[in-house]
């Protein structure tokens, strides 16, 4: 009965489709912002510390001591690099040091990295705010988190002195020129990270050709587990282990889970509001047409057919609104992803105190879009049952007289 489609009155269709449209956009943005903040938080933290996943000597995570370092062999890195889902294998050597500037000393984490590799694999160089990024992998230079530099009163060109414990109880000390400062997107890392070229770090710690970990970057951080499984199959499990960030930082995962439940309640309230709006529109539409329905019933149209017609209309309208909402939602999210909102003032301080980057980044994970659209679609189909139920109880005489 395709002719029934003609029945839809353009104004009414537009009003309802528009309410579905805004509902979809709203819920997409909300979900996207929530996931975006989490993703961003995890990304910023793990990329410049452990990696989404990390391979290290068995037991290293429990006792993160440089004595638990392992041989850096190219063949090992290649093996992991070939595992599907792994996009980069990054060798790092890290240990605790005391860092001194002109007259201040602070505890810090010194991490040896390969500057040229990090530039391509983690876009590390983009985090530089002042100074310059090391041009070679062997310069005797250091990059510091901004916050740490502030506390040590250091700026590019100054000299940084590091003292710590080296490999197998050797003493470690070194002097480095500060090449640049970093804004790492994780307040915690900003306060304690010092990056050195791997070669120089190995020298200082007396750990020639050793690394403490291989950090693994992945293509899709939302689906770590399958990659984790595959890695375990190629790993010498007697000697090495691979951990995901969730295993390494369970408290971060717990925080997200706890924070999510608040967002789920918010989404619930949003959906409830959307539902009431939609229900209102649907009921109004039915009320407006009560007289018309009465006439149709008098002429011989079964109520069930009218109900089916309403259902069909509702589905078509919802599909239209959902499709448009998904498109616009995607556009908006896309735009904000390339132009993230940097928070300022109190909100910024609050975010930092929670250890979260004060940036509202939106996630473009595809499931956000279709899940929100499907939810709104289901809501509109369920809600149309109210007017359908009203029609089924309609008394023709009363309807005609209305």
Partner 1 sequence: MNQANAKPATVIDAHELSKVYNGHQIPVRAVDNVHLHIEEGEFTAIVGPSGSGKSTLLHLIGGLDAPTAGSVILAGTDLTQLSENELIDFRLHNIGFVFQAYNLVPVLTARENVGFVMQLQGVPREEREARVRTLLEEVGLADKAESKPGKLSGGQQQRVAVARALASKPRIVLADEPTANLDSVSAANLLDIMARLNRDENITFLFSTHDQRVIEKARRVITLVDGRVVSDEIRQ
Interface contacts to partner 1, rule CB under 8 A: 3, 6-9, 291-292, 295-304, 395-397, 400
* CA separation for the pair 111, 84 (Å, rounded): 27
Question: Which of 98/320 has CB closer to partner 1?
Answer: 320
Distance between start and end Cα atoms, the chain: 27
Strand partners, 99: 106, 162
Strand partners, 70: 211
Question: Which of 120/401 has CB closer to partner 1?
Answer: 401
Question: Which of 247/292 has CB closer to partner 1?
Answer: 292
Long-range contacts of 284-287 (CB under 8 A, 24+ apart): 285/12, 285/16, 285/387, 286/310, 286/387, 286/390, 286/391
Question: Which of 132/304 has CB closer to partner 1?
Answer: 304
Nearest distance in Å: CB 126, partner 1: 58
The number of angstroms, rounded, from the C-alpha of 96 to the middle of its chain's C-alpha atoms is 29
Nearest distance in Å: CB 387, partner 1: 17
Nearest distance in Å: CB 388, partner 1: 16
Question: Which of 293/369 has CB closer to partner 1?
Answer: 293
Question: Which of 3/62 has CB closer to partner 1?
Answer: 3
Q: How many CB atoms lie within 10 A of CB 161?
A: 16
Nearest distance in Å: CB 12, partner 1: 10
Nearest distance in Å: CB 285, partner 1: 13
> Is the CA virtual torsion 200, 203, 204, 207 positive or negative?
positive
DSSP symbol at 358: S
Nearest to 391 by CA among 280, 313, 285, 290: 290
Nearest distance in Å: CB 85, partner 1: 54
Cβ contacts of 244 within 8 Å, gap of 6 or more: 52, 53, 224, 225, 228
Question: Which of 9/209 has CB closer to partner 1?
Answer: 9
Tell me phi and psi for residue 333, to 5 degrees. Answer: -60, -40
CB 111 within 8 A of CB 93: yes
**Which runs of consecutive H residues, i.e. helices, occur in 137-249?**
146-152, 187-192, 198-205, 224-234, 245-248
Question: Which of 288/367 has CB closer to partner 1?
Answer: 288
* CA separation for the pair 60, 58 (Å, rounded): 6
Question: Which of 216/309 has CB closer to partner 1?
Answer: 309
Nearest distance in Å: CB 222, partner 1: 46
Question: Which of 28/388 has CB closer to partner 1?
Answer: 388
Nearest distance in Å: CB 337, partner 1: 42
Give the H or E element holding residue 338.
helix 303-338
Cβ contacts of 349 within 8 Å, gap of 6 or more: none
Nearest distance in Å: CB 396, partner 1: 5
Nearest distance in Å: CB 287, partner 1: 15
> Is the CA virtual torsion 293, 297, 300, 303 positive or negative?
positive
Nearest to 223 by CA among 85, 45, 44, 370: 85
CB 119 within 8 A of CB 141: no
């Amino acid at each position: 009965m395709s002719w029934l489609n003609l029945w839809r009155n353009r104004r009414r269709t537009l009003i309802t489709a528009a309410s579905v449209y805004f509902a979809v956009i709203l819920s997409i943005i909300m979900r996207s912002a929530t996931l975006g903040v989490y993703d961003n938080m995890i990304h910023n933290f793990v990329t410049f510390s452990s990696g989404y996943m990390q391979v290290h000597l068995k037991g290293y995570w429990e006792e993160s001591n440089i004595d638990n370092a392992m041989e850096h062999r190219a063949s090992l890195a290649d093996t992991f690099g070939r595992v599907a889902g792994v996009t980069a294998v990054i060798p790092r050597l890290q240990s605790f040091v005391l860092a001194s500037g002109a007259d201040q000393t602070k505890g810090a984490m010194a991490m040896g990295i390969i500057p040229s590799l990090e530039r391509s694999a983690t876009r590390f160089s983009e985090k530089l705010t002042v100074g310059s990024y090391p041009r070679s992998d062997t310069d005797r230079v250091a990059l510091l988190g901004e916050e740490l530099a502030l506390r040590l009163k250091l700026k590019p060109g100054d000299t940084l002195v590091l003292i710590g414990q080296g490999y197998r109880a050797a003493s470690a000390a070194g002097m480095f020129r500060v090449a640049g400062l970093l804004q790492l997107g994780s307040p915690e890392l900003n306060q304690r990270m010092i990056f050195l070229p791997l070669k120089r770090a190995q020298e200082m710690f007396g750990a020639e050709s050793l690394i403490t970990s291989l950090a693994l970057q992945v293509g899709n951080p939302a689906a770590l587990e399958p990659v984790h499984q595959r890695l375990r199959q190629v790993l010498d499990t007697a000697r090495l282990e691979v951990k995901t960030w969730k295993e390494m930082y369970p408290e971060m995962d717990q925080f997200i889970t706890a924070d999510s439940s608040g967002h789920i309640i918010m989404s619930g309230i949003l959906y409830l509001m959307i539902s009431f709006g939609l229900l209102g529109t649907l009921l109004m539409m039915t009320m407006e047409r009560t007289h018309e329905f009465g006439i149709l019933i008098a002429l011989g149209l079964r109520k069930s057919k009218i109900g089916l017609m309403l259902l069909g209309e509702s589905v078509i309208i919802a599909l239209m609104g959902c499709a448009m909402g998904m498109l616009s939602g995607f556009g908006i999210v896309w735009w904000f992803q390339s132009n993230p909102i940097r928070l300022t003032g109190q909100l910024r301080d609050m975010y930092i105190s929670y250890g979260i980057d004060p940036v509202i980044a939106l996630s473009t994970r595809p499931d956000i879009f279709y899940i929100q659209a499907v939810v709104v679609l289901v809501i509109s189909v369920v809600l149309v049952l109210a007017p359908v139920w009203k029609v089924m109880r309609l008394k023709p005489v009363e309807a005609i007289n209305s």
